[in-house]
Amino acid sequence: MEILLDVVSVKVQPGYRLELEFENGEQRIFDMSLYMDKKPFNRLNGSPVFSCAYVDYGTVVWPGNIDIAPETLYDSSVPIDGRGK
């Protein structure tokens, strides 16, 4: 069963990584570098706009109508505080 958790905070880290906190309190790291050559994220590649990530409606969004599904963020991220899945 897929876990559907909202993102409650995001911090942009070097190397196109996102430090995320989910509504269950888990803190995880998501590596966006694997997505930076794919649409629509390629518009953020090498752009200072990447650092403008913020949380809206439970997921991470960027200016220009770019977002990523919260289930992708959760399922493809790794725990950073030892409380993993």
Q: Tally the domains of the chain.
A: 1
Q: Which domain holds residue 18?
A: 7-79
Q: Note whether residue 85 is domain-resident.
A: no
Q: How confident is the model at residue 84 (pLDDT cuts 50, 70, 90)?
A: very low
The residues near 49 (Cβ < 8 Å, ≥ 6 apart) are: 43, 62, 63, 64
**Helical (H) or strand (E) element with 75:** helix 70-75
Q: Note whether residue 2 is domain-resident.
A: no
**Helical (H) or strand (E) element with 19:** strand 17-22
Task: Calculate the dihedral angle through the C-alpha atoms of 60, 27, 85, 54, rounding to the nearest 10 degrees.
Answer: 0
pLDDT in tens, 16-72: 999 999 999 999 999 999 999 999 999 999 999 999 999 999 999 999 999 999 999
Question: 2 versus 71: which is more confidently predicted?
Answer: 71
pTM of the model: 0.89
Q: What is the pLDDT of residue 2?
A: 59
Q: What is the pLDDT of residue 4?
A: 82
CATH number of the domain that residue 51 is part of? 3.30.2020.10
Q: Note whether residue 12 is domain-resident.
A: yes
